[in-house]
Every structure is written in C-alpha cells, then in structure tokens.
C-alpha cells in the first residue's frame, strides 16, 4: 500500500444515542489496512455500539465513516458485507448440529446446475472448507464432524475462519478469547496474526492487555463514548493502557 493511501476506515465525530443514553459522543478512529487495531474501553464505554455502527446494525446519528477514503452510509449488515466487512460475535453464530463445512457456508451455500436443476454442491463446499481451514492452519480434524463435538477454541477458530473467508477486507472480533483457556487463546492469537500477515485488516475488541500487546499494532481507548487515546502498541505498556481505560491517566487523542 502506498504511503499516500488513506486508512481503510476513517471514523470521525460519530455519535449514537439510545433515547437518554448517549452511547457514542464523538468517536474519531482510523483503521489502517493490514494492521490489527485494538478497541479498548471499560464496560459500557461504547465499543460494541461503535462496531454496530461499522457493520450497518445501527446507523450513526451524526459523524462520518469513510471507507478507502469515500464517505459511506451503511443501512444494513448486508451493506457492510458487500464491502467485505465481517464480524465474529461473542455468540459466534455457529449451529451446533450442523457439520463444520455447513457452518462455513451457512447462508452462502454453493450450488451447481441451473434453473430447476440447481442443487447444493456439497462436494465443492467440503473440499473448499478443508482448504479454508488448512490455509489458516486451523486444527479441526474433520470438516464432517458437527460443531457440537468441537472445543471452545475450535469453535472460535471456525467462526474466525468463516469471517475471514467472506470478509476479505475487515474482520471485526468482539472479545474472541473471553471464554477460552490459555492454549486455545494462544491458538486464536496466532490465527489473528496469520490473518493480518495475509493482508486482512482486523479490529479487535479485548479486555486483555497482554493480548493487545501481543497481537495489536495500534490501540484506541474509548471512555464514556469518546475517543480518549490512541497509542502505537510498540510504544506503550499494558499499565498505561489500563490507566487510560480507567481514566487514571488523562487521555490525549493527539498523543
Ligand atoms: N440497543 C441499545 N439500547 C439502549 N442502550 C444501549 C443499546 N446498546 C448499548 N446501549 C448502551 O450504550 C452504552 C454503551 O454500550 P456498549 O454495549 O457499546 O458498551 P461496550 O463498550 O461494548 O461494553 P462491554 O465491554 O460491557 O461489552 C451502555 O450504556 C449501554 O447500556
Ligand atoms: Mg461490548
């Protein structure tokens, strides 16, 4: 990417209220392409609301979102998907009783034939599912096993691999390792790094400062619906980030 290219996403002055609750009161944030940007903030700071503005769930009340330098209006999640923006939700969105490959192609099934002869192309979906998972080095031994039999880490990885496969541009993850053990967390962090190295841009919501310092390039801190600080991760510490989150350290977006 040339130095003169604008950031992939530029959010400026975004506001969003729910009746008397002013969830976002002026958020400014840039997401640079092929980087991992961490979005930090205490409970209720507005992180999930900002993500919903970016994925077309809640249109902002005010402010602007630019994508590759162009102002965009996202009126639905489909609008975001068309731009290659995908989200891995805390609930993962996997169906327990379906097999791994069926989850990877959920609502995006491949078909073969034409007109009334159109049928599901199960063979292609199974073989591409194997490819999608092996490309990202995801450890799922059998794509024909049901998700019910998968561990928490495998489920998280399947959900991320699915988002990365369809969200070629930006993958947003809301606390992807909140429910995972140490080894599974390490595997998911490795997957996030591989995604970034393959050119996918990641927006990562996390409450784990260790994780942020391990995988993120840039961190933004939201406090009470406003951007409180931006830090280059290599130039900060977990302690400073915690101070910015709690307000013990005064933020300065221009720092
Ligand atoms: N749909 C909604 N209707 C009313 N209030 C909402 C709605 N969504 C969020 N809020 C409020 O907006 C504020 C910001 O919430 P948000 O979910 O964005 O926080 P968060 O930073 O994601 O917190 P957490 O770390 O707990 O997930 C909170 O006060 C919340 O109660
Ligand atoms: Mg949230």
- Backbone angles phi and psi of 16, in degrees to 5: -155, 125
Does the structure show a pLDDT above 60 at 150?
yes
* 163 inside domain: no
* 245 inside domain: yes
Mean predicted confidence (pLDDT) in 168-175? 89
Higher confidence at residue 89 or residue 206?
A: 206
Does the structure show a pLDDT above 90 at 136?
no
Mean predicted confidence (pLDDT) in 23-34? 96
Does the structure show a pLDDT above 90 at 93?
no
Does the structure show a pLDDT above 90 at 140?
no
Question: 73: part of which helix (H) or strand (E)?
Answer: none
Does the structure show a pLDDT above 50 at 80?
yes
Nearest ligand for residue 174 CA = 2
Write the pLDDT tens digit of every residue in 109-122. 888 887 777 888 88
Nearest ligand for residue 40 CA = 1
Mean predicted confidence (pLDDT) in 27-54? 96
CA atoms within 13 A on the CB side of 174: 18
- CA–CA gap between residue 85 and residue 208 (Å, rounded): 24
For residue 21, list its beta bridge partners.
18
Which of these, 194, 195, 244, lies nearest to 223 by C-alpha position? 244
Counted domains in the chain:
1
Q: How far is the CA of 106 from the centre of ligand 1 (A)?
A: 28
- CA–CA gap between residue 195 and residue 191 (Å, rounded): 6
* 155 inside domain: no
Q: How far is the CA of 172 from the centre of ligand 1 (A)?
A: 17
Please, is 96 exposed, middle or buried when counting C-beta atoms within 10 Å of its C-beta (0-12, 13-18, 19+)?
Answer: exposed
pLDDT classification of 157: cutoffs 50, 70, 90: confident
Does the structure show a pLDDT above 70 at 1?
no
Residue 255's pLDDT is 40
* 185 inside domain: no
* 188 inside domain: no
* 157 inside domain: no
Expressed as residue numbers, the domain containing 63 is 1-81+201-255
* 102 inside domain: no
Q: Which of 49, 57, 179 is the best mutation target for the ligand 1 pocket, counting ligand atoms within 8 Å of the beta carbon and taking the most? A: 49
* 47 inside domain: yes
What token pair was written down for 158?
């399947």
pLDDT classification of 254: cutoffs 50, 70, 90: very low
Pocket of ligand 1 (CB under 6 A): 18, 21, 23, 41, 43-49
Query: For residue 63, what is the domain's CATH number?
Result: 3.40.50.300
- Of 18-32, 81-95, 193-207, minimum mean pLDDT range: 81-95
Does the structure show a pLDDT above 70 at 2?
no
């Amino acid at each position: 990417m040339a130095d003169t290219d604008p950031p992939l996403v530029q959010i400026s002055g975004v506001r969003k209220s729910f009746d008397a609750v002013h969830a976002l009161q002026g958020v400014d944030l840039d997401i640079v392409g092929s980087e991992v940007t961490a979005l930090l903030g205490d409970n209720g700071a507005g992180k999930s609301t900002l993500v919903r503005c970016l994925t077309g769930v809640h249109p902002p009340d005010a402010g602007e979102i630019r994508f590759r330098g162009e102002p965009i209006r996202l009126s639905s999640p489909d609008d975001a998907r068309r731009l290659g923006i995908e989200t891995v939700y805390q609930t993962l969105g996997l169906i327990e009783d379906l097999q791994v490959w069926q989850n990877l192609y959920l609502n995006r099934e491949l078909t073969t034939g034409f007109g009334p002869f159109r049928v599901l192309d199960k063979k292609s979906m199974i073989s591409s599912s194997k490819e999608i998972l092996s490309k990202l080095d995801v450890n799922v031994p059998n794509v024909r096993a049901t998700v019910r039999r998968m561990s928490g880490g495998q489920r998280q990885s399947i959900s991320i691999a699915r988002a990365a496969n369809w969200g070629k541009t930006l993958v947003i993850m809301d606390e992807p390792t909140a429910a995972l053990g140490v080894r599974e967390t390490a595997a998911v962090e490795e997957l996030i790094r591989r995604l970034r190295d393959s050119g996918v841009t990641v927006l990562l919501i996390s409450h784990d400062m260790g994780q942020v310092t391990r995988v993120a390039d840039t961190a933004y801190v939201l406090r009470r619906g406003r951007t409180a600080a931006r830090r280059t991760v290599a130039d900060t510490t977990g302690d400073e980030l915690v101070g910015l989150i709690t307000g013990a350290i005064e933020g300065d977006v221009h720092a």
